Amino acid sequence: MAQGPEKAAGEKKAVKGRPGGAPRVSGEAVLLKDRYALYPASPLHELNSPTAQAFAAEDRRDQSNRLFVLICDPELPSRINAMRALRGVKVGGLLPLVEWGPVFWPPDGRVCLAVVYEEPLGGRVVLGPQARQDAIQEHDVVRRVIEPFTAAIKEIADRSLTHRAIRPDNLFYMDAARRQVVFGECVTSPPGYDQPVMCETIPLGMAQRDGRGPSTIGTDLYAMGISTLILLTGRNYVADMSDEEVLRTKINQGSYATFVADQRLPLPLIEVLRGLLSDDPSQRWKIESLDMWLAGRRLSPILVKPTTKAMRGFSLKGTEYTNTCELAQAVANAWEGALTTVQDGQLELWLRRALDDKPRAEMVKSAIASGPTGTTDPGAVADYMLIRVGVILDPLAPIRYRGLNVMLDGIGWALAVRMMQKQSVQTIVDLVVRDIPRLYTEGREEYNPDNAFFLNELKQMRSFLAMKTKGYGLERCLYEMNENLPCQSPLIADQYVLEIGDLLPALDAASKRVEHSRSPVDAHIAAFIATHFGYDLDPQFSALNDSTPERACSGMLSLLAVLQYRGGQEALLGLASWAASQMTPLIKSYHSTERKKQVDRELPRLIQKGSLPEMFAFLDNVEERQKDRDGFSRAKAEFAETEREVVSLERGGKEREKEAERTGQQAAALVSVVIGLLTLGILMFVRLF
C-alpha cells in the first residue's frame, strides 16, 4: 500500500547544494518503501517526462546516490511490467530504475505511482525536437552511442520487453562530464505514447498514440537509428514538419532518405543507419546484425526499395494518391465517403492499370464481390469490405476502423487509456465484437504466431463483452487486457490498487469516506477480482449477479470473505461495517424473527472483529438457513390451516344456527321424554312401595 507523507528529519529541509548554490531538496518528504525520500516541493522540471513530473529524491540509506522521482499521471496507464523487469538493472545506455511503487502524493491529494531513477548528472542531450545541439563526433558515435544503446536494447529484449520511448529528447548524459549517453525512462506512459511520429516506423506512426502497443524490438532499433542519426549530425531535418508531413515524406522517400536528406554521412556509419532505418521490417537490422557490425563484420548493404508509385494518381475526396500506403490511409479516414469509389471498380482498375499490380487488383475485386460471413447488417457489410480493401492496400498498417487506428497489440492499451480518461470506447468494443482484427491478420501474407495469441485473447474478450454482469463485461476486458492496470473503481481509484492483496485494505480505507449505501463491489472491483484472483469464484459471481437482493448480498459478502480468507488480511473493521450495512436484504430473508434478533445482537460483535469470513459464516449459515426454511414452511402450513378453520367458522353462521336449532330441539325432545318416563317410574315406585 501507499505510504503517507512523512516529515523529513529536521522539519523543513534544504540539503545538498545544486550547481549554482540552490538547495537540492526542500520541504516535507514522502517516503517510498521506507527508504526513498521524495520531495514534492522540489520539482526538477528539466527531468520531466511528457506525462510525468520529476521531483528530487534521496536514498535514506545512501545519501551519496543522486536520485530523482517521476510521478506518473494517474489518468494514464503505466508500464508496470517494465518497472518490475527493469528495477535494479544497471547497464550502460539505460537510465537505472532504482525503485517504484505507489505513494500518497500530497500535491495531488491521492496515491500516485512514483518511479525513482538515478539522476543523470549531465542533463538532457537534446532539449527539444527543434533544438540543435553539438554533434557527437564521428569517431565517438560508435563507442558513446551505438555500443551502449545496443547493450541497453539487448538488455531490455532479454526481459521480453521493448523500450518504446527512444527519441532524441529522451536521451541523457549520465555523467557530469557529458560523455555517457543513456536512454531515458520508458515506463511512465503506454508504449510509444510519447513518441513523435518521426521516431516511429511508418505503420506505428499511422497508429494513434494510445494504440501503438509495445511492438517489437525492431521498432526500438529503428528509433535508435533515428536518434543516432540526429546525434551524429546535430540536426533534425524533419523538426519543422507536421506529423502528417513526416509520415508522407517517409512513405514516399523512405525513412533513411527523409532523415539523411542532403547530409554527408561518414561512410562506416551509412551501413548501420541504412540497416536500422529500413522501412521493411524483414530487412531491418536486428540485434545480431548490430553485434556483428560492432564486432567488425561488414554486412551486405541494404538496397532501399522506393515505394511503388502509380503512373497516375487515384483521386479520393479531391486528393490524388500515387501509392497504396497513403491511399489505404485516405480510405480509412474517409470511411463511408470512400465506399462508392471502392465499390464502383475504379480502385481495381487503378491498381491494374496505373500501378500494374494485377494480384492486388484481383484481391480487391474479390473483397468487393465476397460479402461478409455471419452478418446482414448493411453497415457491417460496408465496414468489412472497407477493412478488407484497406488490408490489401497496406498489409502492415494499423487496424483501422471508423476513425480508430490501433496496432493489434495496442488494443488493450488504447482501451485502458480511453477508459481512464473517461473517453468513449464504443469503437474499440465494436472492433472486438465484430472480430475485425482477424480480417487484418488474415490479410497479411506473413504468419505471425503472436497474432494467434492476440486473436485468442480477443475471442475471450468477446465472450466477456457478451456478459453484462458484474465480474464480466467491458471492465473484465479492461483488466484482462491490461494485467497491470490499477483498479479503476471510483471507490478506490485514488489509492492505486495494483495487487489483489491491496484491494481489501483499500476498501477498508475507503469505507471511512464513502457512503455505505453504495455497494463495496462495483463492476470494476468485481472485474479486478475476477482477473487477479487465482481461485474459482464462479459460485460467488453467480450469487453476486442474482436478481434476488439477498442472493446478491450473499454473493458480495462471500466474495469479500474469500478474499480476506485467502489473503490472510487482518481485521478490516471499516469494510466489515460497510459490508454489514449492505446486508439488510440478507438479514430480511430470514423468516424467523428470533433469528433476526439474534443477527441484530451478534452483528456488532462481528463488525468489531473485522472478520468477513466469520460474518459470512454467521449470516449465511447453511444449517440456520435450512432450519429457518423448514420452520417457516411448517408455520405457513399451520397458518393456512388455522385460516381455513377461521373462515369456515366465520362463514358458517346460518348453518350453525340451523344446527343449533336442531340440536336444541333434539335436546328438548330428549329432556321431555326423559321427564315423562321418570315421572311414570317414580310414581310407580311410590305406589308399589
Partner 1 sequence: MAKPQARKQVGKPKKSGLGGMGILLWVLGLPAAFMFLPTIILLFFAMLPTFAALLAERGPNRFAWLCVGGMNFAGTSPYLLDLWVSGQSYGKVFEILGSVVTLMVMYGSSGFGWLLYSTLPPVVTVFMTLSASRRIARLRGVQRTLVDKWGPEVGRVDEEEAEGA
Strand residue runs (E) in 355-489:
399-401, 404-406
Q: Which stretch in 321-329, 515-523, 615-623, 653-661 sits in contact with partner 1 by CB under 8 A?
A: 653-661
Minimum distance from residue 643 beta carbon to partner 1 (Å): 7
Tell me the Ramachandran region of residue 488: left when phi exceeds 0, alpha when psi lies from -120 to 50, beta otherwise.
alpha
- Report the C-alpha gap between 539 and 599 in whole angstroms: 24
Minimum distance from residue 598 beta carbon to partner 1 (Å): 13
Q: Which is nearer to partner 1, 22 or 667 (CB)?
A: 667
Tell me the Ramachandran region of residue 628: left when phi exceeds 0, alpha when psi lies from -120 to 50, beta otherwise.
alpha
Minimum distance from residue 654 beta carbon to partner 1 (Å): 11
- Report the C-alpha gap between 419 and 75 in whole angstroms: 9
List C-alpha distances in Å: 687 to 546, 680, 683: 93, 10, 6
Return the DSSP state at 143: I
Residues 78-97 that bind partner 1 (CB under 8 A): none
Residue at grid coordinates 491478420 = 441
Exactly one of 131, 261, 381, 674 binds partner 1 (CB under 8 A); that residue is 674
Query: 174 φ, ψ to 5°?
Result: -75, -30
Verify binding: residue 131, partner 1, rule CB under 8 A: no
Residues 224-243 that bind partner 1 (CB under 8 A): none
The upper half-sphere exposure of residue 180, i.e. CA atoms within 13 Å in the direction of its Cβ, equals 15
- 195 and 212 in contact (C-beta within 8 Å)? yes
- CA 157-212-165 angle, to 5 degrees, is 50
Q: Which stretch in 203-211, 223-231, 457-465, 675-683 sits in contact with partner 1 by CB under 8 A?
A: 675-683
Residues 654-673 that bind partner 1 (CB under 8 A): 656-657, 659-669, 671-673
Q: Which is nearer to partner 1, 381 or 667 (CB)?
A: 667
Minimum distance from residue 681 beta carbon to partner 1 (Å): 9
Residues 586-645 that bind partner 1 (CB under 8 A): 591-594, 631-632, 635-636, 638-640, 642-643, 645
Total residues contacting partner 1 by CB under 8 A comes to: 45
Q: Which is nearer to partner 1, 268 or 652 (CB)?
A: 652
- Report the C-alpha gap between 502 and 500 in whole angstroms: 5
Minimum distance from residue 674 beta carbon to partner 1 (Å): 7
Q: Which is nearer to partner 1, 340 or 593 (CB)?
A: 593
Q: Which is nearer to partner 1, 14 or 683 (CB)?
A: 683
Minimum distance from residue 543 beta carbon to partner 1 (Å): 22
Minimum distance from residue 587 beta carbon to partner 1 (Å): 12
List C-alpha distances in Å: 243 to 177, 207, 329: 34, 12, 14
617-643 burial, b for 16+ CB within 10 Å, e for fewer? ebbbeeebeeebeeeeeeeeeeeeeee
Minimum distance from residue 551 beta carbon to partner 1 (Å): 17
- Report the C-alpha gap between 470 and 530 in whole angstroms: 9
Q: Which is nearer to partner 1, 107 or 681 (CB)?
A: 681
Q: Tell me how many helices (H) and strands (E) the chain has.
A: 29, 16
Judged by the rule CB under 8 A, the positions of this chain that interact with partner 1 are 591-594, 631-632, 635-636, 638-640, 642-643, 645-646, 649-650, 652-653, 656-657, 659-669, 671-680, 683-684, 687
